[in-house]
Amino acid sequence: MSYEVIKFAHILLLVFWLGTDLGVLILSRKFRDAGLSVETRITLLQMAMVIDALPRICFIVMLPVGVHLANATGALGVGAMEVTGLWLLAAVLLTINMMAAKNMGTPLGVKLQRLNWIGLGITGLALIGTGLFSILNGNPVATSWLAAKIGIYGLIYWLAIGIDRLFMPIGRLVGELMEKGSSKELEDNITNTVDRTMWFVLAVYAATLIAAFIGVTKFEF
């Protein structure tokens, strides 16, 4: 696969990751509006959850595609077996992640979400460790700008865990909204849950844009 094709795929992943996630952000914030009917608010949240599948896919697939791109530029020399392993890891993480989102609010969803957090947490730590160690020692990643990107990308894994953890109560709150209707206490809980989650979402946007800037400018540390 040529460098141009891999680079184009990398750009598309970034565009669809942040672009569609912005739609999720807008719909989730609108869901807080107590002036809308319960049915409308549930529809908005359902639309957000459907759209959310695309940024989840792009975020996880970015790892193996990024390694392909780094290999193509000569910045990395990861072998075919290791790249295949990264694709298998991405497939496993993506399957667990999507199944956890699909079963959100159910006992199975809780178990899958915990497994999802373990997978994301371990992978994120490995990436952060690789990035920091490489910046300090020039190995296994020789260029500091790529090492920094890897470390920041690992941090995003942990921010993603934070988003899921903070947003998790929304399933219970939606159930209460459908069963009992709106109340001040319930609306306050919904607003607080969404607002707290948004800070982590914005942190993901910032980290992603910083990593993209470093990749474009090849900024050395």
50-86 tens-digit pLDDT: 999 999 999 999 999 999 999 999 989 899 999 999 9
Q: What is the pLDDT of residues 5-18, one digit of tens each?
A: 999 999 999 999 99
Structure pTM? 0.93
Q: What is the pLDDT of residues 161-217, one digit of tens each?
A: 999 999 989 989 999 999 999 999 999 999 999 999 999 999 999 999 999 999 999
In this structure, are residues 177 and 43 in contact, taking their beta carbons and an 8 Å threshold? Answer: no
Instruction: Encode burial over 9-43: b for 16+ CB neighbours within 10 A, e otherwise.
Output: bbeebbeebbebbeebbebbebbbeeeeeeeebee
What residue segments make up the domains of the chain, in order of their start?
3-217
* pLDDT, averaged across the chain: 94
In this structure, are residues 149 and 9 in contact, taking their beta carbons and an 8 Å threshold? Answer: no
The single residue listed with the structure tokens 């809308």 is 36
